[in-house]
Amino acid sequence: MTDVTQLTVPVQRWIARRRRHDVERHLGPGAGSTPSDVRIRGRRSHDLAAAARLLGLVVAEGQYPLPRPESRRAWLTGPGIQDAWIAERDGELLGHIALSRVGLDAVSAMRWREVTGRATADLAGVSRFFVRSRVRGQGIGTSLLQAAVTEARARGLVPVAEMMSASRDGIRLYEKQGWRLAAMYPCGPRSASLEAYMYVLAAPKTR
Ligand SMILES: CC(C)(COP(=O)(O)OP(=O)(O)OC[C@H]1O[C@@H](n2cnc3c(N)ncnc32)[C@H](O)[C@@H]1OP(=O)(O)O)[C@@H](O)C(=O)NCCC(=O)NCCS
């Protein structure tokens, strides 16, 4: 497979755009069981304000993300965020997901290497994942997750995700989609009795 990091930046951007287009075409409007008027597409810079507003509503629910981000916009854009998708209907942003590099600090990199037996460069972290509360349970989260997984696999990377034990809905969805809990560790203040869960999605079985 071509090592895209060896290509010039404009060519890398062109490849990323093509892949996003392929993911959108592959999912199409109303992929899976998503309502047919909901569209999943790559996030554009003009989506950021709406995504940050929706994130504000999710933060107010109190379970995700933990710890609360100081700047919602900064949390949505980096560090390490490589790609992001949104779900929208009639111009209203309904959900968001991103792919990011994992192991940005030494401890996290060591954990991921130990848990997966792979270099962190071979992994793609699914993160920044949330759906507007009034449209949950309609398959929008599943479609966003499919978009991120499709892209990770197209890049030859293994999808992984780290989530807090408080994210009950997220954990249920990942497990339904075949993700495997590979490790967990306590995090945050002891009084909060929070754990971080490390999930890995194995490659689909080939016949
Ligand atoms: C986790 C989250 C993103 C899931 O989004 P969602 O749009 O509700 O996800 P889906 O609709 O695809 O799946 C949720 C449930 O609806 C069910 N569902 C999917 N399509 C459906 C449909 N067409 N009709 C009815 N139910 C459906 C799913 O099977 C799933 O069932 P479950 O609750 O028994 O697991 C959302 O709950 C959320 O934003 N939570 C707060 C933030 C968060 O915790 N993020 C995840 C961090 S790890």
Is 207 inside a domain boundary? no
Name residue 119's amino acid: A
Ligand 1 within 6 A of CB of 137: yes
pLDDT at 26 over 70: no
Ligand 1 within 6 A of CB of 85: no
The length of the chain in residues reads: 207
pLDDT at 20 over 50: yes
Is 105 inside a domain boundary? yes
- Summarised one tens digit per residue, pLDDT across range 70-98 is 999 999 998 899 999 999 999 999 999 99
Lookup: tokens for 147: 């978009």
pLDDT at 205 over 90: no
- Residue 157: domain span: 4-200
- Summarised one tens digit per residue, pLDDT across range 139-171 is 999 999 999 999 999 999 999 999 998 899 999
How far apart CA 163 and CA 155 sit, in angstroms, is 23
Is 206 inside a domain boundary? no
Q: Whose CA is nearest to atom 17 of ligand 1?
A: 137
Ligand 1 within 6 A of CB of 98: no
Question: 8 or 157, which is more confident?
Answer: 157
What was the pLDDT predicted at 35? Answer: 82
Question: 42 or 33, which is more confident?
Answer: 42
Is 205 inside a domain boundary? no
* Tally of domains in the chain: 1
pLDDT at 7 over 50: yes
Which CATH number characterizes residue 32's domain? Answer: 3.40.630.30
For the sheet containing 92-100, what is the strand order?
39-42, 81-89, 92-100, 123-131, 158-164, 194-200, 180-187
pLDDT at 110 over 60: yes
What was the pLDDT predicted at 52? Answer: 98
pTM here is 0.85
Is 134 inside a domain boundary? yes
pLDDT at 5 over 50: no
For residue 35, the SS3 value is: coil
Query: Hunting for tokens 């990323």 — which residue is that?
Result: 16
Is 35 inside a domain boundary? yes
DSSP character for 33? T
